[in-house]
Amino acid sequence: MEPALDVEGLEKTYGAVRAVRGLSFQVAPGEVLGLVGPNGAGKTSTLRCLAGILPPSAGRVRVAGFDVAQAPVEAKRELAFLPDEPRFFEYLTVWEHLNFTARLYGVEDWEARGRALLEEMELTGREKSLPGELSRGMKQKLSIACGFLHQPRLILLDEPLTGLDPLGIRRMKASLRRRAEEGTALVLSSHLLPLVEELCHRLLVIAGGRAVALGSLPEIREQMAGGAGDGASLEELFVRITSAASEEARARGHEPA
Amino acid sequence: MSFPSAVVFLWVRTWRNRVVRQVQRLKRPRYLLGALVGLAYLYSLVGRSVFVQGTGRAVSPNARLFAELSLEVSVLGTLVTAWVLGADRPALTFTQTEVQTFFAAPVTRKALLHYKLLRGLLSAVLAALAATLFVGRFTSPRPVLFFLGAALAMGTLYLHGTAASFVRAWLVSQGRWGSAVRWAVVAGVLVAGMGTLLSTLRDYPLPENLSRPFAVREWLRDVLDAPGLRAVLWPGRALVAPAMARSWEGFLRFLPASLALLVAHYAWVLAVEVPFEDSAVAGAEARTRRREQRAARSGSIRVGRVPFVLQARGRPEVALLWKNLIARRRMGSGLVMLLSFGVLGAVFALVMGDTRLFSNSREFLGPMALMVALAMAVIGPSAFRTDLRMDLPKLELLRALPLTGRQVVGAELAASALTLGVAQWVMLLLALVLGVGADDVTLAPWSTPVVLGLLPVLPALGLAGLFVQNAAVVLLPAWIPADSERARGVEALGQRLLTLVGTLVVTFLGLLPAAVVALLVGYPLFTVMGRWAVPLAGLAAAGALCAEVALGVAVLGRAFERLDVSEEQSNEA
């Protein structure tokens, strides 16, 4: 089966700073990949490169078979990027944002889908509100509703639960799980390790822009030398892996970006 | 570390970091070039003459009288404002950061008050510097004295406003009698002032023959020197006198009184100090809320009808045009601004005595409509900004859309071009119907052909201007101020000047091919059709301009696709 996301040797540099260094991984349809790493590890840069917002400095990204550099429009039609700080057009209402998104992605039955999504996101009754009138959590939900409208094959989420209340978090987790079951691939970047542990099939741990571990939680435990990972929680594994990466970087004479 | 040394550390580091950041930016050639141009401009504007040599210019008596009167009236206005207008609470404003950092710190109220007073006095010094640069050098032969005097006056006024707010807050806390005392005193002072003014005007009536040279000036000087008004204006005069001194001797003569006023006000503030924490916290929160509302523009947008129903099927870039037309309708100020210019122009013409608007509306309105249409082609591209300039802060969002760069650039341009074009057409059709130069035998036959020729040319010219402005956004994003924020510093000033010059040069270069095409088409036709060749030449010129813009959009679209959002954001960070 063709992977929903195929990344080969992805690099991103800002001047002298190498934010992402040679990342390679694949995400299959229906799979949820957790992207974790300490602050400044290169997670957001990676997601932005995958979404076609930033041009990679090297490497190749394919979304549903479309090369993001060669066929950006086709690739972007197959994905949705949900940033941690969603930005909206402040003069368009909630419903007009859905209308706008529908035209961009050619979603003909957008009204029925839009109503269902607003219901799911508990935004019913807010159709005529402007973004400036929404709380942070509601904005997050609107961003998700717009992202889900065209039923993308790949969803990139950067801290998707920011600003949501406990009920919203619960609904959001169920919603993401359901979409994965329907065949959508998800890449989820978050510092909330319990969420990652609960939702993700596999994890990609990055530090200093490099992949330091990739696999399911049991596989990563296995990878830890000498069985040091036996029975360890994701939090413990995270601390060990990223600490080891920092030590290694210092030994090489430079700090992780 | 004590609070004073912590504050000194904060201020010194803040300034140092700001300077270091600006110097670091100069490593990039475009910022260095901008800084050089900005410095050259400032030098040409201010020069060494202001502070080093003095202007050496004789100050006109009219300018001096005007400056004195304005300053005295503004001092009185500030005093009245301090006691009559605004809320009855301490006027000390703290930022949210200051509230969170200092109010929770082991710092006494007195120390916080001194911190705020010092900040206020420093702001007064900066305001005095600005006043000297823009006003003082025209009204005083010795700008240094103007600066020192203005700094003293503004500092004293700041202390007065603070003390007055403390007194008002205290009076309000005393209940009804406190408010009654305040308003009784304020009313008494105002009535006494008005009474004095009326009695002076009775003694010095307005001269009957105002056409006599300097009649108004002499009358005004007599009125201001009358004993009653001298007493009313004394506070203002005492404050303004050092700034208006013509020599060091004069300045030193007024200095003791000014310094005594400053010290007295400082003592007054300390004597009447009231608790200000509640109002400071509420004020900081309110300001933050207002700033957020301004940024989100939620308070000023009224949701209404959309320009057309956006179907889900069709060219996706139409969605961008649709949303920009909505933005124009809900937030647009360009059209209002242009119409305001038109109305103001008409009012000005009337005030200047041109009554043709009433006596012969048609003769007046036709040329005026044509002039407005022409003016729109020049200033319209700067006034109508519902395009990439508006969306620059959302560049990341635009880049994530499933559209090519050409589609994004073209669609972003379209809304502004459409709005501007329609506005120009309305004005041109008005000029066509009313006629231009109908009373002139030579001009009248050319009126219709020329206006018909302008119908395609002016919107195309506006489109070309919009394209240049949007090209600058894509090619030099760090040089163009985003919609709601402005880059600061001398290099930003230089960059704006360079961008302006560049825009003019590119626009005129773009006009050359269109002019050549118009000549090639128009000249042969003129020999056959006479003046009716003008509309066809206009059509050809507009076609050439549109072709240039289409080519430019294709090139710019490629540049938009290559634009590295992160690089530009990191430069600005």
> pLDDT digits over B178-189, tens only?
888 888 888 898
Residue in chain B closest to A52 (alpha carbons) equals: B400
* Percent of residues, chain A, with pLDDT higher than 70: 92
In a domain, B459, yes or no: yes
Cβ–Cβ gap B298/A132 under 8 Å: yes
Q: B159 and B206 share a domain?
A: yes
In a domain, B403, yes or no: yes
Cβ–Cβ gap B313/A128 under 8 Å: no
In a domain, B266, yes or no: yes
Cβ–Cβ gap B562/A55 under 8 Å: yes
Q: B338 and B251 share a domain?
A: no
Average pLDDT over residues B341-364: 60
Cβ–Cβ gap B402/A91 under 8 Å: no
Nearest-CA distance from A52 to chain B in Å?
6
Domain end point (choices B284, B305, B335):
B284
The pLDDT value given to residue B17: 84
Burial of B140 (0-12, 13-18, 19+ CB in 10 A): buried
B433 contact partners, CB below 8 Å, separation of at least 6? none
Reported for A71-74, long-range contacts at CB under 8 A and 24+ positions apart, including other chains, are: A72/B402, A72/B404, A72/B561, A73/B402, A73/B403, A73/B404, A74/B402
The pLDDT value given to residue B481: 54
Q: Which of B330, B402, B566 sits opposite A91 (nearest CB)?
A: B330
Cβ–Cβ gap B566/A73 under 8 Å: no
Average pLDDT over residues B327-343: 69
Cβ–Cβ gap A54/B393 under 8 Å: no
What range does the domain containing B391 cover?
Answer: 316-572
In a domain, B432, yes or no: yes
Q: B261 and B372 share a domain?
A: no
Average pLDDT over residues B439-457: 85
Identity of residue A15: G
To test the contact with chain A by mutation, choose from B326, B328, B387, B407 the residue with the greatest count of A C-beta atoms within 10 A, namely B326
Average pLDDT over residues A99-127: 93
Cβ–Cβ gap A14/B570 under 8 Å: yes
| Residue scoring higher pLDDT (B163 or B504) | B163
Chain A residues within an 8 Å CB radius of B567: 14
Q: B264 and B324 share a domain?
A: no
Cβ–Cβ gap A131/B330 under 8 Å: no
Q: B557 and B443 share a domain?
A: yes
The pLDDT value given to residue B402: 94
| Domain annotation for chain A: domains and CATH numbers | 5-78+152-252 (3.40.50.300), 91-151 (no CATH)
DSSP labels for A67-89? Answer: ETTTSHHHHHHTEEEE-SS----
A241 close to A213: Cβ distance less than 8 angstroms: yes
Cβ–Cβ gap B403/A52 under 8 Å: no
Nearest-CA distance from A11 to chain B in Å?
14
Which phi and psi angles does A66 have, rounded to 5°? -100, 130
The pLDDT value given to residue B484: 47
Whether the per-residue pLDDT at B353 is higher than 70: the answer is no
Cα–Cα dist A82/B32, whole Å: 38
Chain A residues within an 8 Å CB radius of B402: 72-74, 76-77, 104-105
SS3 A58: strand
Cα–Cα dist A214/A218, whole Å: 11
Q: B479 and B411 share a domain?
A: yes
In a domain, B153, yes or no: yes
Chain A residues within an 8 Å CB radius of B404: 72-73
Number of domains in chain B: 2
Whether the per-residue pLDDT at A9 is higher than 90: the answer is yes
Q: What is the DSSP letter of B300?
A: T
* Percent of residues, chain B, with pLDDT higher than 70: 84
Cβ–Cβ gap A77/B298 under 8 Å: no
Q: B207 and B352 share a domain?
A: no
Residue in chain A closest to B402 (alpha carbons) equals: A73
Average pLDDT over residues B3-23: 85
B303 close to B330: Cβ distance less than 8 angstroms: yes
In a domain, B52, yes or no: no
Q: B274 and B332 share a domain?
A: no
Nearest-CA distance from B298 to chain A in Å?
5
Nearest Cα to Cα of residue B469 among B307, B334, B270 = B334
Averaged pLDDT score across all residues of chain B: 81
Q: B138 and B197 share a domain?
A: yes
Chain B residues within an 8 Å CB radius of A94: none
The pLDDT value given to residue A78: 95
In a domain, B10, yes or no: no
In a domain, B385, yes or no: yes
Cβ–Cβ gap A90/B399 under 8 Å: no
| Residue scoring higher pLDDT (B493 or B509) | B509
Cα–Cα dist A175/A158, whole Å: 16
Whether the per-residue pLDDT at B483 is higher than 60: the answer is no
Q: B354 and B453 share a domain?
A: yes
Average pLDDT over residues B363-368: 78
Q: Which of A53, A54, A110 sits opposite B312 (nearest CB)?
A: A110
The pLDDT value given to residue A179: 93
Domain end point (choices B261, B284, B307):
B284
Residue in chain B closest to A55 (alpha carbons) equals: B564
